[in-house]
Structure 1
Amino acid sequence: MSNNTDHSGKTMRKPLILVPTGSRERDGLDYQVMGTKYLVPLVSVSNCDILMVPTCFGSDAIDTYLDLVDGVFLSGASTNIDPTLYGQEWLTPDQSQDKDRDNFNIALIPKALNKGLPFFGVCRGLQEYNIAHGGDLYQALHDTEGMMDHREKDPDASLEECYGPNHKVTLVPNTWLADVIGQTEFMVNSLHGQGVKTLGQGLSALAHAPDGLVEAASNPAFAQFNLGVQWHPEWMTAHNPVYTKIFKAFGDAARQYAAQRG
């Protein structure tokens, strides 16, 4: 684990961020995986260390993990969340699921929030965050009247094109996120087929897409940094001032939590 040194010369450890992994099958074998692109800004921009934990062994160890860490980060993934968790039938059988990740993360989120841990969820992470609060999802935005197609425009394009600016996001004014970012509108990438339909209990929208889709949400009942965003701020974070501000704010919150617990 990496360490910092304060002005007195005392060695201080970096905050440790819990990052749950997800399932991936290859050649008939199951793997627990996490994309490196999600980890890079946690290390290089948030200035934190990482504890990756498997989601395939159930949720019994969640309390043990949370006692070790100073923040929780939930990534995006290619899998869709089991719709029975929010009271709907499965309408996207062409998309794979990861029920182990679903069950682990939805149990993890309230425990982390109640413990006072900073929380940051990206794409699927926002959707899990919403479901953990009792909300639901649009299963196919592109087939929903009045909603934009939020998927990448050309899945065969280069990564730079897929993760490039796609649509505008407008922040709700006079919110803590608007204060962190310092502007009310900016462009984001968009690589998701699903999205928040009904916000869960206690959640407040912090940003919207042009079609009104919730692009960022937080629970003001919890004083610590807690945020879910629908876009992918982990992509080339250091080259995007808006994304950088969010990851730095998350890292600062984790440092504050670490300092408080000693």
Structure 2
Amino acid sequence: MASSDSERPTAAPVIGITTYLEQAQTGVWDVRASFLPKVYIDAVTDAGGTAVLLPPQPVNPAAVRRLLDSLDGLIVSGGADVDPARYGQQPHAKTGAPRTDRDDWEDALLTAAIDAELPFLGICRGAQMLNVALGGTLHQHLPDVVGSEKYQPAPAEFGSESVSIAAGTALSTLLGDGLDVHVYHHQALDRVADGLLVSARTADGVIEAVELPSVPFGVAVQWHPEENEADRRLFAGLVAAAREHASQKEQQ
């Protein structure tokens, strides 16, 4: 006997995650390759979503819209520094070489996601990319601002910082009034773009999260929640919003 619609299992929301595009070695090969640390994929699947990877590629607005129409949610992942030319600055001596292909791709994805009200989560670089895409700027080298390298202690070594979360924000609904987080960033948000709301800071004033109140779910954090296997609340929030988005599309 065929199952009724109410008996069919609910499909896992499909979450697209942007990826790196770097020189990579595997076996005998040393080539340019798209890749993403597995912790991002685990964070999505642990929260009940299905992860698909979105490597940097030439931007075609119609193709971007079609791509996002096939997704239920979007994650803009961490990685290399955003090109300072995008926010009207010359590069700092400590700013990494620009990855303009990735900048263009993620800018297009975020712009189209906002227009479509597709739920999204920015992580580290993703928070910076969101701010820049909407007209904000960055501190190019955070040690110049805070006087230490505690936000990026050493290569491949995460720092731990306490963040305070603003009451009444989407982030506070998910995480409460504060928590300790994994940080690994030498840049940070400076002038916040119009429309973004600062939802978390550290004790020394560094912006660690922003959100876009004009969309159903638009959250971006400067820290690395994917590194905390014991706490998947941010990803659960995204997946829940993605499930609601998918349900609304089916009803249209």
Q: 180, 203, 210: which one pairs with 1:210?
A: 203
Report the counterpart of residue 191 of structure 2 in structure 1.
Answer: 198
Letter in 2 for 1:106: D
In 2, distance between residues paired with 1:8 and 1:31? 43
SS of the equivalent of 1:55 reads: coil
1:235-261: CA deviations, max 9, x gaps? 133x13xxx221111110011011111
Q: Contact conserved, 1:218 with 1:228, CA < 8 A, in 2? A: yes
Q: 174, 182, 185: which one pairs with 1:189?
A: 182
Report the counterpart of residue 151 of structure 1 in structure 2.
Answer: 151
In 2, distance between residues paired with 1:232 and 1:88? 26
In 1, distance between residues paired with 2:4 and 2:149? 48
**Structure 1 position 9, deviation (Å):** 1.4
SS of the equivalent of 2:15 reads: strand
**Structure 1 position 23, deviation (Å):** 1.2
**Structure 1 position 93, deviation (Å):** 5.5
**Structure 1 position 76, deviation (Å):** 0.5
Aligned length: 243
5+ unaligned residues in a row in structure 2: which ranges?
none
SS of the equivalent of 1:12 reads: coil
5+ unaligned residues in a row in structure 1: which ranges?
none
In 2, distance between residues paired with 1:36 and 1:226? 23
Report the counterpart of residue 113 of structure 1 in structure 2.
Answer: 114
In 2, distance between residues paired with 1:76 and 1:113? 19
Question: Normalising by the residue count of structure 1, what TM-score does the alignment of the two structures yield?
Answer: 0.86
In 2, distance between residues paired with 1:255 and 1:94? 38
Instruction: Say if 1:136 and 1:150 are closer, same or farther in 2 by CA, change over 3 A.
Output: farther
Q: 167, 170, 177: which one pairs with 1:173?
A: 167
In 2, distance between residues paired with 1:92 and 1:104? 25
1:208-254: CA deviations, max 9, x gaps? 011111111011122x11100000000133x13xxx22111111001
Q: Contact conserved, 1:18 with 1:65, CA < 8 A, in 2? A: no
**Structure 1 position 14, deviation (Å):** 1.3
Confirm or deny that 1:132 pairs with 2:133: yes
In the TM superposition, what are the counterparts of 1:1-262 in structure 2 within 5 Å? 8-26=6-24, 29-45=31-47, 47-60=48-61, 61-77=63-79, 79-92=80-93, 95-144=96-145, 146=146, 148-155=148-155, 162-163=157-158, 166-182=160-176, 184-222=177-215, 224-237=216-229, 239-240=230-231, 244-262=232-250
**Structure 1 position 114, deviation (Å):** 1.4
1:111-165: CA deviations, max 9, x gaps? 1011011010000000001111100000000122x4553433233xxx6xx34x6
Letter in 2 for 1:170: S
Question: Normalising by the residue count of structure 2, what TM-score does the alignment of the two structures yield?
Answer: 0.89
In 1, distance between residues paired with 2:95 and 2:222? 21
The CA RMSD measured in Å over matched residues stands at: 2.0
Q: Contact conserved, 2:166 with 2:172, CA < 8 A, in 1? A: yes
